[in-house]
Amino acid sequence: MKYLEEFRDPELAKKLLDEIKAVTTKDWAIMEVCGGQTHSIIRNGIDQLLPDEIELIHGPGCPVCVTPLELIDKALAIAATPNVIFCSFGDMLRVPGSDKDLFRIKSEGGDIRTVYSPLDALKFARENPDKEVVFFGVGFETTAPANAMAVFQAKEQGIENFSMLVSHVLVPPAIAAIMESPTNRVQAFLAAGHVCSIMGYEQYPPLSEKYKVPIIVTGFEPLDVLEGIRRAVIQLENGKFETENAYQRIVTSEGNTAAQKMLESVFETKDRAWRGIGVIPESGWSLSENYRDFDAEYKFNVTDIETHESPLCKSGEVLQGTIKPHECPAFGKECTPRKPLGATMVSSEGACAAYYNYGRFAATAK
Amino acid sequence: MNDLDFESWVCPLPLRDYPKIVLGHGGGGKLSNELVENLFVPAFSNETLDKLSDSASLDVAELLKDGGRLSYSTDSFVVQPLFFRGGNIGNLAVNGTVNDVAMAGAKPVYLSCGFIIEEGFEVESLGKIVNTMGEQARLAEVQIVTGDTKVVDKGKGDGLFINTSGIGVIPKDVNLAPNLAQPGDVVIVSGEIGLHGIAIMSEREGLEFDAPVESDCANLNFLIEEMLEVTKEIRVIRDPTRGGIASALNEIAKSSNVGIVLEDSKIPVPQTVRSACELLGLDPFYVANEGKLLAIVPREKSEEMLETMQKNEFGKESAIIGEVVEQNSGMVVAKTGIGGTRVVDMQLGEQLPRIC
């Protein structure tokens, strides 16, 4: 396949690994920001192939993991409302709220549908004028343009029975928050290539400069990830801290300007709570004043939600890289993929779930 | 394999008076009889069924005269859409149970079938499906000997549900079981994986590919017969249906207390399935198959087994994809293309498409 098999070539992977080994002389902690990169690392076993000196810290770039509990509970409340068709991307269905998940709501009679695009939800709204159709608009900058488009079209076409529960989060403020944390261990970032394909990477050089940290815009195939790591290590070993684009086939400096225009008109920046981490200033988007009629938080009265996170769950520290998943006392005991206490145990790209699977293997392999 | 002509099927009179199923078709009266006599019996016709008794009377002593054992299995079919590229629910209803019976090393002989039909279902569609079932039963050389029809109120069913049960005979010296895999054994898959699941999903999601993906639905009983002729020492045969090869192999690893190591690069995944999985955020290892089997065989017989399998029309693309090991007991791992290792875990429930 074009642009896929080429970036999984074993020979080239070996060459990159050899180069990484050759330049590495000290211990380095590199964070891959995006869950898609974590997934690729685990799926291809990249972490086991790296020299021992290099530690990969799985970043908070997994929408499943960082969507705040309060919003999950709001989603559950809306989805359980009669006459509502609640549409979501697939892997949000199993994220635990305070005491249920969307699967439970579905089994109790909620009309919950998995869609691949918010525009599918808009179609349901058109086809079911007597129902309220709500789309769960989560994710980073990558999924935002399609969500913005759905709301934009709903307004243009006057589809009043459509609304969106929005919890968009943004990468650059998260990088700043991680660097400012007193317990931070991250020395370089692999920035999320898909996020940059939309937003460009002009926001990153100031971060590199301010925090003296190398940031490499990185793709998702094994060779992309290895190349990102290679460039990060070279900078670290040479005491440099620049932003580099290692995903040039997709990402340009200015990004997708048409999408950015759409985002600007539909969303407004606001402070956002990240599950397990806390509130990060100006780190998210919600629907702007003009689109209030399509904001599910306003349409449905879900403001008085009380949340309670499991006191055992330490996913916040895991997401910031201050502890490893298996250092959490609940790991593998009270908390497993079958009965997750926190979101990082849910998604296949969540750090805890990844460790749970790989850890069992590593333990028996010894 | 699928040269059935659905379009030319014509519903015989007097069913034409009712183009759609009404509640009375399940009521046991005249309408029910018409459905049986004009639709089911002509499609399934065989000596036992044609007697139209309440139950089939079967000569089990005759079946087991060579000292074999009975294999008995049941499965329910609730697929949506009912018609898809490469077949319809009828193909699945017959081949699914034929294969389940055959996975024990049995020769399938008899099937039962139960239909739960939603009021308002097109009689013509039912006719096409029932005809497919008849055709598939003949191809697999099994007889549908008893059946039942119920009609539920509109809105209480999803068009059509089918349940089939099957009986087969396991020859005396054949003993296949999921707990018999041993370190040193070899894992064989009978062909390209993921076709059925992707055919259904692309139909549901309205995806179009340059080369459309067709379901691989097929009866595997003759392939298994030929495999058992190579050696009766085959340890396990499983059909990787729901949950794909990952789930089937995990079950084997757990029952046998062994580890299974796969080679990513040796697993036949068609380009279309690969592309669709990339697009949909799925892993082909977890996608359903309806015409494939996994076999765990002793290493010394593996080459001969592979050759035999490749000669069968449903085993042409058979490949050795991994081995059974002592380490990592109860787990399946895969060696990745770039030389790493990953855990191929049991899937919890439905495979959930990833966001990013």
Q: What is the pLDDT of residues A21-43, one digit of tens each?
A: 999 999 999 999 998 898 888 88
Query: How far apart are the C-alpha atoms of B86 and B196, rounded to whole Å?
Result: 8
Of B275, B339, B354, the CB nearest to A1: B275
Whether the per-residue pLDDT at B16 is higher than 60: the answer is no
Query: How far apart are the C-alpha atoms of A103 and A113, rounded to whole Å?
Result: 10
Percent of chain B with pLDDT over 70: 92
For residue B254, list chain A residues with Cβ-Cβ distance below 8 A: none
Per-residue b or e along A298-312, where b marks 16 or more CB atoms closer than 10 Å to that residue's CB: ebbebeeeeeebbee
What pLDDT score was predicted for residue A349? 62
Co-location of B223 and B318 in the same domain: yes
> Could you read off the pLDDT of B71-126 as tens digits, one per residue?
999 999 999 999 999 999 999 999 999 999 999 999 999 999 999 999 999 999 99
State the residue range of the domain holding B22: 15-170
Last residue of a domain, one of B112, B140, B170: B170
Chain A, window 139-158: residues with a beta carbon less than 8 angstroms from a chain B beta carbon = 139-140, 142-143
* Interchain CB distance below 8 Å, A357 and B328: no
Nearest CA-CA distance, residue A145 and chain B, Å = 13
CATH topology of domain A5-61+175-245: Rossmann fold (3.40.50)
Count of CB atoms situated within 10 Å of the CB of A26: 10
Q: How far is CA A65 from CA A343, A349, A365, in A?
A: 5, 9, 29
In chain A, which residue's Cα lies nearest the Cα of B270?
A1
For residue B329, list chain A residues with Cβ-Cβ distance below 8 A: 364
Sheet with strand A188-192: strands edge to edge = A54-61, A28-34, A188-192, A215-218, A243-245
Who has greater pLDDT, B4 or A211? A211
**If you average pLDDT over residues A288-307, what whole number do you get?**
89
Q: At residue A283, what are phi and psi to the nearest 5 degrees? A: -110, 10
Co-location of B139 and B199 in the same domain: no
For residue A13, list chain B residues with Cβ-Cβ distance below 8 A: 337-339
In chain B, which residue's Cα lies nearest the Cα of A347?
B354
* Interchain CB distance below 8 Å, A143 and B355: yes
Max mean pLDDT among A9-13, A341-345, B218-222, B277-281 falls in B218-222
Assign B280 a pLDDT band (cuts: 50, 70, 90). confident
* Helix, strand and coil in chain A, % to nearest 5: 45, 20, 35
- Find out whether B21 and B126 touch, Cβ atoms under 8 Å: yes
The residue type of B233 is E
Query: How far apart are the C-alpha atoms of B307 and B313, rounded to whole Å?
Result: 12
Chain A, window 221-240: residues with a beta carbon less than 8 angstroms from a chain B beta carbon = 222
Local structure of residue B36 (DSSP, 8 states) = I
Local structure of residue A5 (DSSP, 8 states) = G
* Interchain CB distance below 8 Å, A138 and B355: yes
With respect to residue B31, please indicate whether it lies within any of the assigned structural domains: yes
> Could you read off the pLDDT of A125-177 as tens digits, one per residue?
999 999 999 999 999 999 999 999 999 999 999 999 999 999 899 999 999 99
What pLDDT score was predicted for residue B138? 97
Local structure of residue A221 (DSSP, 8 states) = S
A5-61+175-245 shares its CATH topology with A65-170+255-299: yes
Q: At residue B332, what are phi and psi to the nearest 5 degrees? A: -115, 130
What pLDDT score was predicted for residue A341? 85
Whether the per-residue pLDDT at B355 is higher than 70: the answer is no
Residue ranges covered by each domain of chain A: 5-61+175-245, 65-170+255-299, 315-365
Q: State the CATH number of the domain containing residue B241.
A: 3.90.650.10
In 3-state terms, what secondary structure has residue A160? coil
With respect to residue B37, please indicate whether it lies within any of the assigned structural domains: yes
**If you average pLDDT over residues A57-76, what whole number do you get?**
87
In chain B, which residue's Cα lies nearest the Cα of A193?
B356
- Find out whether A144 and A268 touch, Cβ atoms under 8 Å: no
How far is residue A91 CA from its own chain's centroid? 12
How far is residue B335 CA from its own chain's centroid? 28
Chain B, window 250-269: residues with a beta carbon less than 8 angstroms from a chain A beta carbon = 259
Who has greater pLDDT, A353 or A199? A199
Q: What is the dihedral of CA B180, B182, B185, B189, to 10 degrees?
A: 40
Q: How far is CA B212 from CA A13, A178, B80, B242, B271, in A?
A: 32, 47, 18, 21, 11
Q: How many Cα neighbours within 13 Å face the side chain of A350?
A: 28
Helices (H), A281-350: 296-299, 315-319
Co-location of B191 and B161 in the same domain: no
Co-location of B70 and B107 in the same domain: yes
Within 8 A by CB and 6+ apart from A239, the residues are none
Token digits for B77? Answer: 């079919």
Assign A359 a pLDDT band (cuts: 50, 70, 90). low
What pLDDT score was predicted for residue A110? 94
Chain A, window 335-364: residues with a beta carbon less than 8 angstroms from a chain B beta carbon = 337-338, 347-349, 357-358, 360-361, 364
Whether the per-residue pLDDT at A211 is higher than 50: the answer is yes
Who has greater pLDDT, A146 or A68? A146
Q: How many residues are present in chain B?
A: 356
What pLDDT score was predicted for residue B146? 94
**If you average pLDDT over residues A180-188, what whole number do you get?**
92
Whether the per-residue pLDDT at B264 is higher than 80: the answer is yes
Q: Which of A269, A65, A259 is nearest to A170 (CA)?
A: A269
Q: Identify the residue among A101, A361, A366 best suited for mutation to test binding to B, counting B beta carbons within 10 A and taking the highest.
A: A361
* Interchain CB distance below 8 Å, A114 and B338: no
What pLDDT score was predicted for residue A362? 59
Co-location of B261 and B339 in the same domain: yes
Looking at the complex, does the CB of residue A94 fall below 8 Å from at least one CB of chain B?
yes
Token digits for B323? Answer: 């081995």
- Find out whether A291 and A156 touch, Cβ atoms under 8 Å: no
Q: How far is CA B112 from CA A289, B51, B150, in A?
A: 62, 15, 14
Dihedral of alpha carbons B302, B307, B309, B315, sign: positive
The residue type of B65 is K
Whether the per-residue pLDDT at B347 is higher than 80: the answer is no
Q: Is the backbone peptide bond immediately before B14 cis, with ω within 30 degrees of 0?
A: yes
Co-location of B91 and B232 in the same domain: no
What pLDDT score was predicted for residue A365? 45
Q: At residue A194, what are phi and psi to the nearest 5 degrees? A: -70, -35
Cα B92–Cα B75–Cα B141 angle in degrees, nearest 5:
55
- Find out whether A349 and B354 touch, Cβ atoms under 8 Å: yes
Nearest CA-CA distance, residue A289 and chain B, Å = 27
Looking at the complex, does the CB of residue B206 fall below 8 Å from at least one CB of chain A?
no
With respect to residue B32, please indicate whether it lies within any of the assigned structural domains: yes
Nearest CA-CA distance, residue A125 and chain B, Å = 17
Whether the per-residue pLDDT at B8 is higher than 60: the answer is no
* Interchain CB distance below 8 Å, B355 and A63: yes
What pLDDT score was predicted for residue B23? 86
Co-location of B334 and B223 in the same domain: yes
- Find out whether A29 and A53 touch, Cβ atoms under 8 Å: no
Of A89, A357, A365, the CB nearest to B345: A357
Nearest CA-CA distance, residue A314 and chain B, Å = 23
**If you average pLDDT over residues A206-215, what whole number do you get?**
98
In 3-state terms, what secondary structure has residue B179? coil
What pLDDT score was predicted for residue A360? 59
For residue A16, list chain B residues with Cβ-Cβ distance below 8 A: none
Co-location of B100 and B143 in the same domain: yes
What pLDDT score was predicted for residue B349? 66
Q: What is the CATH number of domain A65-170+255-299?
A: 3.40.50.11740
Co-location of B195 and B156 in the same domain: no
* Interchain CB distance below 8 Å, A35 and B348: no
Query: How far apart are the C-alpha atoms of A69 and A97, rounded to whole Å?
Result: 6
- Find out whether B279 and B154 touch, Cβ atoms under 8 Å: no
Q: Identify the residue among A20, A44, A355, A356 best suited for mutation to test binding to B, counting B beta carbons within 10 A and taking the highest.
A: A44
With respect to residue B355, please indicate whether it lies within any of the assigned structural domains: no
Helix B195-205 with B271-280: angle, nearest 10 deg = 50
Co-location of B23 and B165 in the same domain: yes
> Could you read off the pLDDT of B284-302 as tens digits, one per residue?
999 999 999 999 999 999 9
Co-location of B141 and B286 in the same domain: no
Query: How far apart are the C-alpha atoms of B141 and B109, rounded to whole Å?
Result: 7
Within 8 A by CB and 6+ apart from B161, the residues are B76, B77, B78, B115, B116
Looking at the complex, does the CB of residue A194 fall below 8 Å from at least one CB of chain B?
yes
**If you average pLDDT over residues A89-115, what whole number do you get?**
89
Query: How far apart are the C-alpha atoms of B327 and B313, rounded to whole Å?
Result: 35
How far is residue A255 CA from its own chain's centroid? 19
Co-location of B164 and B191 in the same domain: no
Nearest CA-CA distance, residue A331 and chain B, Å = 17
Percent of chain A with pLDDT over 70: 96
Token digits for A265? Answer: 């008109």
- Find out whether B170 and B106 touch, Cβ atoms under 8 Å: yes
**Averaged pLDDT of chain B:** 91
Whether the per-residue pLDDT at B1 is higher than 50: the answer is no
With respect to residue B314, please indicate whether it lies within any of the assigned structural domains: yes
* Interchain CB distance below 8 Å, A103 and B205: no
Looking at the complex, does the CB of residue B275 fall below 8 Å from at least one CB of chain A?
yes
Weakest-pLDDT range from A86-100, A193-207, A262-276: A86-100
What pLDDT score was predicted for residue B101? 98
Max mean pLDDT among A229-243, A304-318, A346-360 falls in A229-243
Bridging pattern class, strands A84-88 and A111-114: parallel
Query: How far apart are the C-alpha atoms of A277 and A173, rounded to whole Å?
Result: 13
Last residue of a domain, one of B170, B200, B218: B170
Assign A62 a pLDDT band (cuts: 50, 70, 90). confident
Q: Identify the residue among A5, A37, A112, A116 best suited for mutation to test binding to B, counting B beta carbons within 10 A and taking the highest.
A: A116
> Could you read off the pLDDT of A223-266 as tens digits, one per residue?
999 999 999 999 999 999 999 999 999 999 999 999 999 999 99
Number of domains present in the structure of chain B: 2
For residue A45, list chain B residues with Cβ-Cβ distance below 8 A: 335-336, 338-342
* Interchain CB distance below 8 Å, A10 and B281: no
